[in-house]
Structure 1
Amino acid sequence: MSLARAAGAIVRPSKRAGTTLLQRRAASSHAHDEHHHEEYHDTNVYEPEVFNTSFWRRAVIAAVGVVAFYKYAPAPGDDNPIAKYISSTMTPAEVWHNMAFKHLAMSAQGSDDTKLMVDAKPPTVHRYRYPQRFEQYSPNSQPVGIKLSVDDIVVKRD
C-alpha cells in the first residue's frame, strides 16, 4: 500500500464506524492473552560450572603423576626392581630359538609328507590289446644275444 493511500485512509473516515487503518494495524493478532501471563520456569537443576569437580581434580592428579614419572623414571639402561622382576619371569631366548627350530623342522617334514601324498599316483597298468600273444611266444627262433623270459608273466582275465 502506498503512503498517499495510507495517509488518505487516516484523513478520511473509513466505511467502518470508528476504526481506522492505524487502529486495525495496532491490534494484536492473538485473540486472547491467557498464555502471556505465565512465565516459563526451568525445573532442571544444573551443577555450577566450576573447575573444582572430581573430573578436573583427577585430571590434574594424573597430569602431575605423568610429569613425576617422566622426571624420576629410570633410564632404559639402568638396573631397577621392575626390570629385574620382568627379566626373572621371562622365558630365556634360547628356549624360544629351540622351539622355533623344532617347529621349522616339523613344518618341513609335514610339507614333504603333504607333497608325497599329493604327488602319489597309482601304479601304471599296461593294457595290451592281445594279451594272448604272451602265451604264444616261442623261445625258439630268437636272434643271438636276446634272452627273453616270459615265464613270470601272468595274464589277467577281466
Structure 2
Amino acid sequence: MSLARAAGAVLRPTQRASTTLVQRRAASSHAHEEHHEEHHEEYHDSNVYEPEAPISRFQVFNTPFWRRAVIAGVGIVAFYKFAPEPTNDTALAKYISSTMTAPEVWRDASFKHLVLSAKGSEETLLMADAKPPVVHRYRFPQRLEQYSPHAQPVGISLKVDDVVVKRD
C-alpha cells in the first residue's frame, strides 16, 4: 500500500466507508430483493399514454372499399368467362381495326427504312475503309529524265514518254 493511500485512509475514514457502501449497494442485487416483492403489488404506472390511432379503412375487411374490390374482381372474372369469342365481328375488334393503320403502310415504311439503312451502312463502310492513293516517291526523280534508249539489252524496252515528273 502506498503512503498516499494510507494517509487518505487515516485522515478520512468516514467518507471512505460511505463511498464503499454506496458502490457495494449499487453493484449488489441482494440488498434490494426482499423489498422488491413487497413494492411490486403497490406499483402503479403513472405514465399517461395517448389513445390508440383509429383503425384505417384498409385494415378491416368489411368496409365498402373491400366490398367494391371483391365485386370488381368477380365482375372481371365473369367478363372474361362469358365474353364473346375473339373474332373480327365483335364491336371492340371493329373499333380497334378502324383506328389502326393499315399493315401495307407499315410494310412499305419498314422496307424504305431497310433500304435507307443498307445505303447508309454502305456509305459508312466506304468512308471507314477509304485510303488515300498510293504515291511512289523517288529520291532522285531526275533519273527518269536521264534515261537513254540506247545501250539496253535485247527484250527490255521501257517507254517513259508519258511519265511526268511532279515538282513539289
TM value normalised by structure 2: 0.62
Which 4+ runs in 1 deviate beyond 6 A?
A: 30-34
2:105 alignment partner, one of 83, 95, 104: 95
2:131 alignment partner, one of 109, 121, 127: 121
2:55 alignment partner, one of 25, 32, 47: 47
Q: Deviations over 1:24-77 (max 9, x none)?
A: 965336879886165866512433975331321122221221122123311112
Give structure 1 stretches of 5+ with no counterpart: 1-23
Are residues 32 and 73 of structure 1, via their aligned partners in 2, closer, same or farther at CA, if it must alter by over 3 Å? closer
Are residues 76 and 147 of structure 1, via their aligned partners in 2, closer, same or farther at CA, if it must alter by over 3 Å? same
How many residues of Structure 1 are paired with residues of Structure 2 in the alignment?
134
Backbone CA RMSD of aligned residues: 3.4
1:131 alignment partner, one of 123, 135, 141: 141
| 2:117 aligned residue | 107
Are residues 38 and 153 of structure 1, via their aligned partners in 2, closer, same or farther at CA, if it must alter by over 3 Å? same
- Classify the secondary structure of the residue corresponding to 2:36: coil
Q: Matches of residues 6-155 of structure 1 in structure 2 within 5 Å?
A: 27-28=35-36, 36=44, 38=46, 43-47=51-55, 50-77=60-87, 79-140=89-150, 143=154, 146=157, 148=159, 150-155=160-165
- Larger RCO, structure (CA 8 Å, separation 6 or more): 1
Are residues 41 and 125 of structure 1, via their aligned partners in 2, closer, same or farther at CA, if it must alter by over 3 Å? closer
Q: Deviations over 1:127-158 (max 9, x none)?
A: 1232111111234456578461x344332344
- Classify the secondary structure of the residue corresponding to 2:84: coil
The structure where helix makes up a greater share of residues is 2
Give structure 2 stretches of 5+ with no counterpart: 1-31
Q: Deviations over 1:85-143 (max 9, x none)?
A: 10011111111111111111111111111111111111111112321111112344565
Are residues 82 and 36 of structure 1, via their aligned partners in 2, closer, same or farther at CA, if it must alter by over 3 Å? same
TM value normalised by structure 1: 0.66
Identical pairs, percent: 57
**Paired amino acid for 2:121:** S
